[in-house]
Amino acid sequence: MLALSGNDVRTLVPMKTAIELMKEVFAELSAGKAVSPLRTPVDVPTESAVSLYMPAYVPSREGLGLKIVSVFPNNPAKGKPTIHALVAVISAETGEPLAILDGTYMTALRTGAVSGAATDLLSRPNSRVLTCIGAGAQGVTQAWAVASVRPIERIYVADMNPDAVASFAARLGALAPELASKVTPVTDLDNAVAESDVICTATTSRQPVFNDAALKSGAHINAIGAFTPEMQEIPVATVKRARIVVDAVDAVLAESGDLIIPINSGQLDRSAVSLELGQIAAGAAGRMDDTEITLFESVGNAVQDIIVARYAVEEAERLGRGQHFSL
């Protein structure tokens, strides 16, 4: 059995490769070929935390496995990351355990990569200004992914945690050195959003994190933080006027507060949530014109982890990387 660290995954799966893997796997998911049951959350009330269990099967890559991701918002005060995760890869031929991989870096990588795919398919090609609301590990890879598919010249970053903002440029520079000098911390989000062609939200907020009126015409939004029905990052006014694209319809309608809240309040018709990123990757129309607001809403899907994990395992075997052990 093989064990791969976060550093192994980082070396084996470049961001641009991960972005293309996201287009591939979501097209397969939308076509009904990949299998991804709704994840099972286990709440940990004493820590205001949740642990999520997410199986998936990706037949095109013979990918079968499980991801466990835990979100513990009190961890920064303990000097630990908010998110920890583990991925297990199983043989699709025999059911034998093949590998375990650090899922913490993979979660940030694949979440950034799907936003990169959405940005490539939905944003205006000349998008140059990016705002990242949320400066944690997810925010860093969001910026990296967007800058991998668009000619980004400025990256504004905002977060309630000043330490996260202060270290953002260095953490981004460790992944993509050419991007560190493009980072500018901001406190006036209205001005930053008004300039931005692409906005990424990666927070645990329960109320909108920017004002709809500040949005620039033709902006594209990647919203990846609202993964429970109570969470909300995007103003209802924005959701109502945007072209909505989601990772998986069933999942977002069960989990994403950004969509559930306006639907339950009667401000958004459920039928407005019908277009999946995989359909666009397979050729369906995306952005309709340069003035349209596009919103990609994602709650995450285990197919992302399994396709990246399977690719990483194949590359590790080819290059002789990782540690082998017996159970």
Kindly list the catalytic residues: 67
The neighbouring-strand residues paired with 49 are 44
Specify whether the CB–CB gap between 264 and 239 falls below 8 A: no
Nearest C-alpha neighbor of 15 from the set 318, 320, 311:
311
Cα separation, 304 vs 299, in Å, equals 11
Which are the contacts of 271, defined by CB distance < 8 A and separation ≥ 6?
none
- Rg of the chain taking only CA atoms, in angstroms: 19
Cβ contact 253:262 at 8 Å: no
Going by C-alpha positions, the residue among 277, 313, 280, 279 that lies closest to residue 298 is: 277
CA angle (269 as vertex; 220, 234 as ends), nearest 5: 35
Q: What are phi and psi of 45, to 5 degrees?
A: -60, -35
Separation CA 256–CA 96 (nearest Å): 34
CB atoms within 10 A of CB 163: 10
Residues 86, 68 contacting (CB under 8 angstroms): yes
Find the helix packing angle between 137-149 and 103-122, rounded to 10°.
40
**Chain position carrying tokens 């340069």:** 290
